[in-house]
C-alpha cells in the first residue's frame, strides 16, 4: 500500500509569489490535514479536509488556502509569500471516521524556502 505522497519535496520561491503544494493520501483515506513546521513556532495545524469539505481550520491568515478533490488528493496554496512562510509543510492522511481517524500517516513534507 503506497504511503502519503507530497510533491514537490523542495521549493524555492520569491517574496510576493504564490505556491501550490500537493498531497496524495493513502488509498481509501478521506481525510487530509496540513501542518506547518518551523523552528520558531513548531508544528501548527493549518486545515483539515474530509470528503472535499474543509472540516476544520487553524489560525492562519487567508493567504493560506486549500482544497480537496474527489479522489481525496489535496492541495494547499499560499499567496503573496512572505519570508516567514519558509517552513516544512507536512500532510497527513487518515480514514477520517471512527477509530481509524485516530491514526494519521504523514508524508515526507515539502520544504518551502522564500527568498
The residues binding another protein (CB under 8 A) are 31, 33, 35, 42-45, 48, 50, 55-56, 58, 88, 90, 92, 96, 101-109, 111
- CB-nearer residue toward another protein: 43 or 115: 43
Q: How far apart are CA 103 and CA 68, in angstroms?
A: 20
User: Do 96 and 36 contact (CB within 8 A), yes or no?
Assistant: no
- CB-nearer residue toward another protein: 90 or 114: 90
User: Do 86 and 38 contact (CB within 8 A), yes or no?
Assistant: yes
Q: How far apart are CA 111 and CA 91, in angstroms?
A: 12
In angstroms, what is the minimal distance from the CB of 16 to another protein? 27
In angstroms, what is the minimal distance from the CB of 42 to another protein? 5
Amino acid at each position: 500500500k503506497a504511503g502519503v505522497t507530497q510533491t514537490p519535496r523542495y521549493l524555492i520561491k520569491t517574496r510576493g509569489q504564490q505556491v501550490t503544494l500537493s498531497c496524495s493520501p493513502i488509498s481509501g483515506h478521506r481525510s487530509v490535514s496540513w501542518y506547518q513546521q518551523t523552528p520558531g513556532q513548531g508544528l501548527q495545524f493549518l486545515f483539515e479536509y474530509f470528503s472535499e469539505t474543509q472540516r476544520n481550520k487553524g489560525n492562519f491568515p487567508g493567504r493560506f488556502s486549500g482544497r480537496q478533490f474527489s479522489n481525496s488528493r489535496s492541495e494547499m496554496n499560499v499567496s503573496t509569500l512572505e519570508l516567514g512562510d519558509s517552513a516544512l509543510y507536512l500532510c497527513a492522511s487518515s480514514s477520517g471516521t471512527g477509530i481509524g481517524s485516530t491514526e494519521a500517516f504523514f508524508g515526507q513534507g515539502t520544504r518551502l524556502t522564500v527568498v
